[in-house]
Chains A and B, each alone.
Chain A
Amino acid sequence: MELLAFGDTGWGDELFRATLMTIAVSITAMLIGFSFAAIFTPLKLSKFKFLNLIANIYTTVIRGVPELLVIYLFFFGGSGAIMFVASMFGYNEYIEINAFVTGSFAIGIISGAYSTEVFRGAIQSIDKGQFEAAKVLGFSKFKQFYKIVLPQMLRLAIPNLSNVWQITLKDTSLISVTGLVEIMRQSYIAAGSTRDPLFFYSFAAVLYLLVTFISMKLINKLEVKYSRGY
């Protein structure tokens, strides 16, 4: 138990901070994913075949390729790509991007592909009459989206989004390969210096279970809130 003490003698405070880091990366990735979904969901539902194709390539490639490979692409390619853009503006120094940014971006793109599918499914299962009614009432496209589509879509999307959240949370363990100190990386460091991997990796598993358990409770509350009236 003294291994988990807070302060200099144990790993308690380090692991606590690492857990916060995991949560921070997961939330950032989830939000980045939402912004990708906000771009690609309309493309998926568009009437134009070409736009459909672009969105389908995004979701198929990301969901068909291992997360680790995507992370390696960003880890090794990220700073190169930024340096290439910077060199076009005449900046030729070495640029290193922070592991948090690379990590959340890589996981965010993955999470965005799943979110896109969830939002597409949710919008498609809204009754057609709702759109027609909005049109008949003379709602503008913007108002139609905010007042009619969005509230109904959220209700349908939340159960599936909670799955996406779980996937995203578990995927963050993979960015430990880039050196970002989240639960997995911290356990790796602690296991290495105490020679007690069994304890620390099991404890990491407990931390992940705890985060999942608590977040599921919160999401259930959200689900109840958005299902009012049904």
Chain B
Amino acid sequence: MDFELMINSFPKLLNAAVVTLKLLSISLIVGLFIGLLFAILRLNKNIFINKFAYGYSYVFRGTPLLVQIFIIYFGLGQIDSLRSSFLWVILKEPYWCAIIAFALNTGAYTSEILRSAFQTIKPGIIEAGKSLGISNKIIFYKVQIPIAIRQSLPAYGNEIILMLKGTSLASTVTLMDLTGVAKYIISTTFKPIEVFIVAGGIYLFMTYIIHNLIKFLEKKYSY
């Protein structure tokens, strides 16, 4: 055990963990909106809209995240019209490519979580709202969404942790996140176990915080 290396690499890895957290939080926020949008599309009665939303979540849940990142980072740059458009400013950056891939991926999982939450809402609650003369729109925003969010908290907590682990793939497109820096230190010092303990410890600490945060929210919003 090389304790000196462990102590020396700790601040470097901690700095890299900030990158990981940034990637995670931006993709989660964007992914939540995508997920909500597609969950609503899934509940639409129009069969085409419905099938489109299902296809989206099927494709993104059925393929590895690595493929998705590579398609966006390496693949999209090949389209000439895209290269000359304003989008290229975003798509040439590995940072934004990774975030787009993460957001689309977590959006697919989130849409499934929210869809099943919407479907488990008892029809009686919506009927109660209707009989009180509340408009459908307000029922949706004030009744259905809050209940769905509460219902989906435990599953969404798991999704956050899966996404935290998913951000490690950013290192494959040259980003120096926690895993990227860990790999760099391992390949220069050839001390995989020490680095794994420190980097893994930081990941576990983050998982622990997320886990307890979700637990706290579940308690707060329980009914």
B67, B172, B196: which has the most chain A beta carbons within 10 Å? B67
Question: Is A92 among interface residues, defined by CB-CB distance under 8 A?
Answer: no
Chain B residues near A60 (CB, 8 Å)?
Answer: 204
Task: Output the least CB separation between A78 and chain B (Å).
Answer: 9
Contact (Cβ within 8 A) B203 A205: no
In the complex, chain A residues 137-193 whose Cβ is within 8 Å of any chain B Cβ: 166, 170-171, 173-174, 176-177, 184, 187-188, 191
Question: Which A residue's beta carbon lies closest to that of B58?
Answer: A209
A-B contact count (CB 8 A): 116
Contact (Cβ within 8 A) A205 B67: yes
Contact (Cβ within 8 A) B203 A208: no
Mark the stretch among A1-9, A28-36, A45-53, A66-74 that contacts chain B.
A66-74
Contact (Cβ within 8 A) A76 B64: no
Task: Output the least CB separation between B203 and chain A (Å).
Answer: 5
In whole angstroms, what is the CA distance A132 to B154 when docked?
A: 34
Mark the stretch among B40-48, B92-100, B131-139, B187-195 that contacts chain A.
B187-195
Q: Chain A interface residue count: which class?
A: 35 or more
Task: Output the least CB separation between B21 and chain A (Å).
Answer: 14
In whole angstroms, what is the CA distance A115 to B168 when docked?
A: 23
Question: Which A residue's beta carbon lies closest to that of B210?
Answer: A64
Question: Which B residue's beta carbon lies closest to that of A171?
Answer: B64
Q: Which of B67, B168, B193, B203 contacts A184 (CB under 8 A)? A: B67
Contact (Cβ within 8 A) A170 B63: yes
Chain B residues near A171 (CB, 8 Å)?
Answer: 64
Contact (Cβ within 8 A) A68 B74: no
Query: Known contacts A67-B168, A69-B196: does B204 contact A198 (CB below 8 Å)?
Result: no
Query: Known contacts A173-B64, A197-B70, A208-B67: does B203 contact A69 (CB below 8 Å)?
Result: yes
Contact (Cβ within 8 A) B203 A198: no
Question: Is A88 among interface residues, defined by CB-CB distance under 8 A?
Answer: no
In whole angstroms, what is the CA distance A173 to B190 when docked?
A: 24
Q: Which of B67, B78, B161 contacts A173 (CB under 8 A)? A: B67
Contact (Cβ within 8 A) A170 B203: no
Question: Is A202 among interface residues, defined by CB-CB distance under 8 A?
Answer: yes
B71, B79, B171, B186: which has the most chain A beta carbons within 10 Å? B71
In the complex, chain B residues 156-199 whose Cβ is within 8 Å of any chain A Cβ: 161, 164-169, 171-172, 179, 182-183, 186-187, 190, 192-193, 196, 199
Contact (Cβ within 8 A) A170 B64: yes
Question: Which B residue's beta carbon lies closest to that of A208?
Answer: B63
Contact (Cβ within 8 A) B168 A212: no
Question: Which A residue's beta carbon lies closest to that of B196?
Answer: A73
In whole angstroms, what is the CA distance A171 to B66 when docked?
A: 9
**Interface mask (A109-151 → B, CB under 8 Å = 1, otherwise 0):** 0000000000000000000000000000000000000000000
Chain A residues near B200 (CB, 8 Å)?
Answer: 61, 64-65, 69
Query: Known contacts A61-B200, A64-B204, A80-B190: does B76 contact A198 (CB below 8 Å)?
Result: yes
Question: Which A residue's beta carbon lies closest to that of B70?
Answer: A201
Contact (Cβ within 8 A) B68 A205: yes
**Interface mask (B43-73 → A, CB under 8 Å = 1, otherwise 0):** 0000000000000001100111111101100
Question: Which A residue's beta carbon lies closest to that of B202?
Answer: A65
Residues of A at the B interface (CB closer than 8 Å) are: 60-61, 63-70, 72-73, 76-77, 80, 166, 170-171, 173-174, 176-177, 184, 187-188, 191, 195-199, 201-202, 204-205, 208-209, 212-213
22 contacts between A and B (CB under 8 A): A64-B165, A64-B204, A64-B208, A65-B203, A65-B204, A66-B168, A68-B168, A72-B186, A77-B192, A77-B193, A174-B169, A177-B172, A184-B67, A188-B70, A197-B71, A197-B75, A198-B75, A198-B79, A201-B67, A205-B59, A205-B71, A208-B64
- CB-CB nearest 6 A-B residue pairs: A66-B168, A198-B75, A77-B192, A173-B64, A197-B74, A76-B192
